Structure 1
Amino acid sequence: MPSKLTTGPDRLQLQRTTGRGLRPGERVEIISAGLVPADSEVADALGVEEGAPVIRRRRRYLDDDGVIALSTSWLPGELAEAAPELLITGPLPKMTFGLIEDRTGRRAVKRRDSVSIEELPQDMAPFLEVAPGTPVLRMANHYWDQNGQITEYARDYMGPGRVLAAKYDLQ
């Protein structure tokens, strides 16, 4: 049976219910963190000008079965003043969501997920340990705070051999 996939929204829920954004047996490697100029996709997602400084954090989630996902988050650059840890290559005890909420009071209350199958870009392939151009599941997440302002845009490339499953209470 393929291994379960833990998505960004799953991690937010885990953080809020358990105080930890990882499932038992999972670990995270922070690949990079810092301010970068927003490309057109990120600028559009965050509602900023192309080229504006935005925070980018890239991390790889792993478990005993291998790579779960390569996740990149972009956040408005002004959040670096309230939470300079976002610019440091190291784990955040409460993930980006918890840190932003603690420092600014901005709580992620709404999200939109987009899922597609895409060819893995060459620069992402080494992190997923598959060949460039391999079709992979890509999930993009937009998060908004209680004031309707975007707090984070994330793009995840899912590791091979994973199952995306969701359970909902319909009552």
Structure 2
Amino acid sequence: MRTGFVRRQRRYPDDGGVVALSTSWLPGEFADAAPELVESAPLPKMTFGLVEERVGRRTVRRSDVVSLRPVPAGDAELLGVEVGAPALVMANRYWDADGAVTEYATDFLGPGRHLSAEYDLP
């Protein structure tokens, strides 16, 4: 059984460059049931869907924090920016019904990208 955390990183490009660089940290034992979590290939049900299906822990709560942060050395080349350049980042934390964190993720947006959301109102 794995201990600690596993790290999963994905780079999302389009014709205009890098849209986002997404990095997730998940409890290490999740990778025993879902080894795809340590690969960068797309997941058929997104991360929390795979965790629910294979690990049996359903995500019931999410927190998003948007901020401007300097891009760390390990991510700068993947985003196509200088180390320390400011970038818009969304940090997400997900919890299961028992209040345990199932995933922590950061999404650094690429240069010139913006964050938007669309919601249905009651």
2:11 counterpart of 1:60 = yes
> Secondary structure at the residue paired with 1:162?
coil
Identity within the alignment, %: 60
Which whole-Å CA distance do the structure 1 matches of 2:40 and 2:119 have between them?
Answer: 35
User: What do residues 91-148 of structure 1 show as CA deviations (whole Å, max 9, x unaligned)?
Assistant: 3222221211111222222100111111112221101111122111011100112332
TM-score with structure 1 setting the length: 0.64
TM-fit CA distance, 1:89? 4.4
2:72 counterpart of 1:126 = no
Which whole-Å CA distance do the structure 1 matches of 2:59 and 2:41 have between them?
Answer: 22
Q: Could you say which residue in structure 2 is the equivalent of 1:164?
A: 115
Q: Which deviates more, 62-71 or 87-96?
A: 87-96
Q: Could you say which residue in structure 2 is the equivalent of 1:12?
A: none
Q: Could you say which residue in structure 1 is the equivalent of 2:21?
A: 70
Which whole-Å CA distance do the structure 2 matches of 1:129 and 1:162 have between them?
Answer: 13
> Secondary structure at the residue paired with 2:73?
coil
Q: Using a 3 Å threshold, how does the CA distance of structure 1 residues 92 and 167 change in structure 2: closer, same or farther? A: closer
Q: Which runs of 5+ in 1 are unaligned?
A: 1-34, 36-51
Which whole-Å CA distance do the structure 2 matches of 1:93 and 1:166 have between them?
Answer: 22
Q: Could you say which residue in structure 2 is the equivalent of 1:155?
A: 106
Q: Could you say which residue in structure 2 is the equivalent of 1:81?
A: 32
TM-score with structure 2 setting the length: 0.88
Count of residue pairs the alignment pairs up: 121
Which whole-Å CA distance do the structure 1 matches of 2:44 and 2:67 have between them?
Answer: 30
Which whole-Å CA distance do the structure 1 matches of 2:73 and 2:36 have between them?
Answer: 29
> Secondary structure at the residue paired with 1:91?
coil
Which whole-Å CA distance do the structure 1 matches of 2:35 and 2:114 have between them?
Answer: 35
Which whole-Å CA distance do the structure 2 matches of 1:149 and 1:122 have between them?
Answer: 30
